[in-house]
Structure 1
Amino acid sequence: MTEHGTHSGLHTEQGALPDEHSGRGKNPVIKVEDLAWLEFEKPNLVRAETFARAFGFAVAARTASELQLRGSYAGSPCVIIRRGPRSRFAGAAFRAADAKDVMRLANATGARVERLPESLGGTVVDLRDPSGARVRVVSDTHPLPELPAQQPHTFNFGSEVNRTNATQRPPRIPVTVQRLGHVVLQTTRYRQALDWYLDHLGLIVSDFLYYEGQRDRGPVMSFIRCDRGSVAADHHTLAMTLGPRNRYVHSAYQVSDLDSLAAGGEYLRDRGYHRSWGIGRHIQGSQIFDYWRDPDGFLVEHFTDGDLFDNTLEPGWAPMTASGLAQWGPPVTKDFMGIGFGRESIDELRSIVTSLREPNEFDLRRLRGLLKVASS
């Protein structure tokens, strides 16, 4: 078995040991179908829109106080940015199958079902996960129509010839974002938060990661997908990791292919935006990735060619290492790992001191495991 094999080769033989987490809720309240959108607050919507267009979003709606960004696929906006005094992640919205599921979730949690603004339509129930993160579950929102797609290129593979008398010249223009793929969150109450999402939203785990030498203490990261039964879903719609503070880590947006991802990255670089890490291919999820920092410091990812699993696949287990983040590509950067010299790294260092003084899952032994990951 090789270190970077397929999901089956890499993980099936390293499945759960007796009494380890099953990666599923026993009787979830509902089963959400997907992420609907992410919400942010930023003080400068003009600057946010300028980056968003360069990153590949289209503008679905704009007012003096709100910006709705979308991909080319039909459906909901990908991102909603509201004007606020400071830049912050405001929460994630998941899409329920129908209004009955929204009501069922509200009844189970004691929350209220409310109408969303007319610009979005539909109903919503607002909840808080054990980390305090806002979680919205929505249904029956107004569908946005499909936009013109960015077509993938035609490739010649050895003797399989699909292109003759034609050149390959991907233009250096903004890539077209197709859709929102996933969000990654850090929490000081990882196990509590994990179980909350599995039990309330019916999500299921694709892969667990644990600190080397600490598997007996359980996982510290999980890649979690929607349970759509026999219909395949993204390897992860939500990923969660244990850390010294509760925070947004990154969000990911699908594009058509490697050429559009790479050419779109050149377009961003030409305009002075900061590439955090890439281009490479992940192990968990297999996506080809390219990570960027927006002007407010948020980490955002272009990805293509990700794994899709139905509900028959059991979770894989693997140690967490920096070198295990990618099958190929440049070495993981300090900026991506949050150990550079930026504001986020300073905030993370301060939070370590605070977290070790408070009752949560991030204790001294977990800190040692995290530091080992950073140097691995």
Structure 2
Amino acid sequence: MNTQVDVHRDLHSEQGARRAEHPGRSANPLIKVRDLAWLEFEKPDLVRAEAFARAFGFSTVLHTADELHLRGTDTGSPCVIIRRGPHSRFVGPAFAAADKVDVERLASATGTKTRKLPEAIGGVAVDLTDPSGTPVRVAADTHILAELPAQRPHTFNFGHEVRRANTTQRPPCEPARVQRLGHVVLQSTKYMESLNWYLDHFGLIVSDFLYYPGQRERGPTMSFIRCDRGATPADHHTLAMVLGPANRYVHSAYQVCDLDAIAAGGEYLRESGYDRSWGIGRHVQGSQIFDYWRDPDGFMVEHYSDGDMFDNTLEPGWAPLTASGLAQWGPPATKDFLGMAPGREAVRELRSMLTAVRDDNEFGITRLRGLLKVARS
């Protein structure tokens, strides 16, 4: 007789660490970064990139023959910097330090030098490379862009609680207005080494660990990592890292005001001919309402709202990594989101699997079996 199984039982990470498991933070980090500042890409067609960016909800700060800067409505630096290149690739993330002294301290501790950033950005930075080979920039004193008019959240009637009377609800089918950059997700063949590097260098702390089902004793294979702002709550994750057969960008996420912005903005993207990867749904780790899209160059980007905010008192949660456990509600995770859809990306990932189990990294044959189990869960 078939027994119905609650696929969300024990997936919300209330269970904590066991004895001797990773603590999720560094005892003595070099500095504590304040936020994720921007992401850098190279693309051959900046006109095409800007067209998608505007449909997705960005505003353009700078567009020259060789460079494109995109921003949200919040004050701060641009969210995304795209430079013209021979082919599309993710270059790396830039984190915001609390001040110039932290940049100098990081440079001194790593044997590198600070440098002035171009006038369009301003400030100073130190350029590092994480154990996966991804360039990572830490910047301070950059130019602050003034706040732009933002998309207003809708007023909702919740059950019998009437907040809106004698007026209708008519969300327009238009681009969602991106407020800010929320997080980036990176895949690494040296997941644990890279995780410790980010915690030790930048003072990041883990909100949630995930592990392959049946392999918890081998350690986590994914972590959702937030900035340590003390008693001030920070995004559940600014950086997420996952073990995999290749070092690559997975996706980046951008906050919008509410569910209607996500849904109506998604309709605008669909009617404009762009491809949804997965959504709409609500995540487990982080709780965000999400909707994933592919840009014309194949990069996955996410609209989200209503994400968890944690201060530095919360300890990491632990849960198994399963495809069904990626969302509390919504459609099942798609093959495209999981990297299994037929196409160049799936072929590259398959080739990486065959190569990774032969290379000197953390992704061995046991981990490959675990990953395949995740995709079927």
**Do structure 1's residue 171 and structure 2's residue 172 form an aligned pair?**
yes
Percent identity, aligned pairs only, is 72
Following TM superposition, by how much is the alpha carbon of 1:239 offset from its aligned partner in structure 2, in angstroms?
0.1
Match of 2:169, as an amino acid?
Q
Q: 1-side partners of 2:267 and 2:222: how far apart? A: 32
Deviations 1:200-235 (A, max 9, x none): 000000000000111010000000000000000000
Q: 2-side partners of 1:110 and 1:80: how far apart? A: 27
In structure 1, the partner of 2:208 is 207
What secondary structure is seen at the aligned counterpart in 2 of 1:312? coil
Match of 2:13, as an amino acid?
H
In structure 2, the partner of 1:285 is 286
Equivalent runs, 1:111-190 vs 2, <5 Å:
111-190=112-191
Q: 1-side partners of 2:351 and 2:159: how far apart? A: 53
In structure 1, the partner of 2:20 is 19
**Do structure 1's residue 36 and structure 2's residue 37 form an aligned pair?**
yes
Deviations 1:123-148 (A, max 9, x none): 00000000000100000000000000
Assess, with a 3 A threshold, how the Cα gap between structure 1 residues 6 and 165 changes in structure 2: closer, same or farther.
Answer: farther
Q: 2-side partners of 1:254 and 1:5: how far apart? A: 28
What secondary structure is seen at the aligned counterpart in 2 of 1:285? coil
CA contact (8 A) 2:209 2:317 kept: yes
Deviations 1:340-373 (A, max 9, x none): 1021111000111111111100000000000000
**Do structure 1's residue 84 and structure 2's residue 85 form an aligned pair?**
yes
Aligned residues: 372
In structure 2, the partner of 1:371 is 372
In structure 1, the partner of 2:217 is 216
Q: 2-side partners of 1:237 and 1:158: how far apart? A: 34
TM-score normalised per structure 2: 0.97
| Range that drifts further, 338-347 or 92-101 | 338-347
Following TM superposition, by how much is the alpha carbon of 1:11 offset from its aligned partner in structure 2, in angstroms?
2.6
Q: 2-side partners of 1:76 and 1:294: how far apart? A: 22
Give 5+ residue unaligned stretches, structure 1. Answer: none
Deviations 1:58-89 (A, max 9, x none): 00111110000000000000000000000000
| Range that drifts further, 180-189 or 347-356 | 347-356
Q: 1-side partners of 2:94 and 2:41: how far apart? A: 11
**Do structure 1's residue 63 and structure 2's residue 64 form an aligned pair?**
yes
Following TM superposition, by how much is the alpha carbon of 1:4 offset from its aligned partner in structure 2, in angstroms?
4.3
Assess, with a 3 A threshold, how the Cα gap between structure 1 residues 309 and 33 changes in structure 2: closer, same or farther.
Answer: same
Q: 1-side partners of 2:79 and 2:9: how far apart? A: 32
CA contact (8 A) 2:10 2:319 kept: no
Match of 2:144, as an amino acid?
P
Q: 2-side partners of 1:157 and 1:191: how far apart? A: 44
TM-score normalised per structure 1: 0.98
Q: 2-side partners of 1:93 and 1:296: how far apart? A: 21
Q: Detail structure 1 runs of 4+ shifted over 4 Å in the superposition.
A: 2-7
What secondary structure is seen at the aligned counterpart in 1 of 2:336? helix
CA contact (8 A) 2:204 2:227 kept: yes
What secondary structure is seen at the aligned counterpart in 1 of 2:13? helix
The CA RMSD over aligned residues, in Å, is 1.1
What secondary structure is seen at the aligned counterpart in 2 of 1:336? coil
What secondary structure is seen at the aligned counterpart in 2 of 1:11? coil
CA contact (8 A) 2:289 2:305 kept: yes
